[in-house]
Amino acid sequence: MLFAFMMAGAGAPPAWPPPDRLPIVAELPDPFLKPDGTRIRARREWPAQRRRLLETILHYQYGPLPPKGAKVTGRVTDHREVGDLGSVRDIELSMGPRGVVKVRLMLAVPAGKGPFPVILDGDLGWDRLNDAFIRAVLGRGYILAAFNREQVGPDSAERKGVYEAWPNYDGGRLAAWAWGFHRTLDYLLTLPEVDGKRIAATGHSRGGKCALLAGATDERIAVTAPNNSGCGGAGNYRFHDDKCETLEAIVRRFPYWFHARFAGFMNNVQRLPFDQHTLKACVAPRALLTTEALGDLWANPRGTQQTHQAAREVYAWLGAPDRIGIHFRQGGHEHGLQDFETLLEFCDVQLFGRTVSRRFDALAFPDAERVWNWSAPARSPRSSGVPTASSGDL
Ligand code: GTR
């Protein structure tokens, strides 16, 4: 009874026992289980279930996202043309209380008449999104909006950015960076060039972990696409081989990426009341693409396929089995042009209904074990269509 610990009086907030008081769940936990120990049966129950799952994941793993803060504004600081493909603006965003959190945004917009779909990426600080990437995205008619998440919160224990703006804020960096996606999106949605119904969020590795969290917690994001995100992202904590990053390894090296509470699951992983298939399921029924590299063993490609397959049970139950995709390429840990090409094709399919030759359902490990012992519930007779957006960001 995964959720039985949360039972509380009507209307009372859920009680959260410490990690060592949670029940042991050896396999991937059941995402359909409710706090009272029964399972949801109708699709219309999914929005409330999703919210409960997210609250649990935030409480034990990432911590809360910061408050919304003041209206996000942008000041253009530079502008250049990219041949006849479009143009690039450098923008300084002001977010947080009184706009004190300053974040750089690079906005590449195709030539011609919009509005255009957007690829939103938080990894600008890594300086890898050069003209080749800009051209690849513009050439296919998409905006590339890349912000520097390390200005939202530094990639260290230092308390700058949102941590300085809200001194009592106790979420980890992944939660702060997910908030950065949401606030950058607030700004993008004020621009006439932006097609607000066609936003894809992506990022690499630690940037993929927070892109997944951002997509799971904000229904304005139509496509969520973590790349090589592994442990704390699209990989799973319970099942991995010796070459993969574990919960213990990641918390030891990067405790500040998570809420302090998460350390309570070190050498105690089976007490996690969720695993990362649960976070993936929280994106449903919106589109989700996981891009993986077969040589990136640290990021647990096999365990990532397992989270994909388990989350796909939720997608299928919601009537959207083709909205969740996975793609494996040869090679190692990187977010290269070919990963962007894969994402752009997935977006073409999901956002425009186009036909492409690439497949998003090919499994690299067809013999991977089924590491969960539940299946989707039989739907109650009154159950109807796929639920629509309900709750915005958390
Ligand atoms: C590694 C870390 C991974 C991944 C990677 C990266 O050192 O163990 O979880 O986040 O860094 O972000 O490139």
CB 266 within 8 A of CB 231: no
Enumerate residues 6+ apart whose C-beta is below 8 A from 37. Answer: 1, 3, 4
**114 within a domain of the structure (yes/no):** yes
In DSSP terms, 148 is beta-bridged to 123
For helices 337-352 and 131-139, angle between their N-to-C axes, nearest 10 degrees: 20
CA 334–ligand 1 middle distance (angstroms): 11
Which of 68, 362, 323 has the alpha carbon at shortest distance from 200?
323
Mean pLDDT of the 175-204 span = 98
Polymer length of the chain: 394
Mean pLDDT of the 195-211 span = 99
- The residue range of the domain holding 217 is 44-352
CB 103 within 8 A of CB 162: no
Mean pLDDT of the chain: 94
Report whether pLDDT(387) > 70.
no
**126 within a domain of the structure (yes/no):** yes
Any idea what the Cα angle at residue 43 is, between residues 40 and 44, rounded to 5°?
Answer: 95
Enumerate residues 6+ apart whose C-beta is below 8 A from 109. Answer: 86, 87, 88, 89, 116, 138, 143, 193
Residue list, ligand 1 pocket, CB within 6 Å: 205-206, 230-231, 245, 250
Domain of 243, CATH number, reads: 3.40.50.1820
Mean pLDDT of the 114-121 span = 98
Give Cα 334 to chain centroid, integer Å: 18
Alpha helices in the chain (DSSP H): 46-57, 131-139, 162-165, 173-188, 206-217, 247-253, 276-281, 301-317, 337-352
- The whole-angstrom separation of Cα 106 and Cα 123 is 11
- pLDDT tens column, 51-105: 999 999 999 999 999 999 999 999 999 999 999 999 999 999 999 999 999 999 9
- The whole-angstrom separation of Cα 116 and Cα 105 is 17
Ligand 1, atom nearest to 209 Cα: 10
Distances (CA, A) of 333 to 79, 197, 265, 293, 301: 32, 31, 26, 7, 11
Sheet of 324-329: strand order equals 73-82, 86-95, 101-110, 143-147, 116-121, 194-204, 223-227, 287-293, 324-329
Share of the chain above pLDDT 90, in %: 92
By CB atoms closer than 10 A (0-12, 13-18, 19+), residue 267 is: exposed
Mean pLDDT of the 165-182 span = 98
Residue 194, both tokens = 């932006």
**31 within a domain of the structure (yes/no):** no
Any idea what the Cα angle at residue 164 is, between residues 163 and 170, rounded to 5°?
Answer: 25
CA 275–ligand 1 middle distance (angstroms): 19
Ligand 1, atom nearest to 231 Cα: 9
Enumerate residues 6+ apart whose C-beta is below 8 A from 387. Answer: 43, 44, 46, 47, 285, 318
- If pLDDT is split at 50, 70 and 90, which confidence band does 4 have? very low
In DSSP terms, 144 is beta-bridged to 108, 119
- pLDDT tens column, 345-373: 999 999 999 999 999 999 999 999 999 99
State whether residue 169 is helix, strand or coil.
Answer: coil
CA 256–ligand 1 middle distance (angstroms): 13
Helix count and strand count (H, E) for the chain: 9, 9
**120 within a domain of the structure (yes/no):** yes
**162 within a domain of the structure (yes/no):** yes
Report whether pLDDT(393) > 90.
no
pLDDT value of residue 5: 45
- If pLDDT is split at 50, 70 and 90, which confidence band does 35 have? confident
- The whole-angstrom separation of Cα 41 and Cα 318 is 11
State whether residue 344 is helix, strand or coil.
Answer: helix
Report the residue among 121, 253, 254 best suited for mutation to probe ligand 1: largest number of ligand atoms under 8 A from its CB.
254
Distance between terminal CA atoms of the chain? 25
Residue of the CA atom closest to atom 6 of ligand 1: 205
**151 within a domain of the structure (yes/no):** yes
Radius of gyration of the chain (CA): 20
Ligand 1, atom nearest to 228 Cα: 4
CA 301–ligand 1 middle distance (angstroms): 14
Residue 340, both tokens = 């962007």
Please identify which residue in the block is written with the tokens 């939103």.
Answer: 120
Specify the pTM: 0.95
- If pLDDT is split at 50, 70 and 90, which confidence band does 1 have? very low
State whether residue 25 is helix, strand or coil.
Answer: coil
**338 within a domain of the structure (yes/no):** yes
Q: Based on the structure, what is the number of domains in the chain?
A: 1
CB 344 within 8 A of CB 281: no
Residue of the CA atom closest to atom 10 of ligand 1: 206
pLDDT value of residue 7: 43
- If pLDDT is split at 50, 70 and 90, which confidence band does 27 have? very high
**301 within a domain of the structure (yes/no):** yes
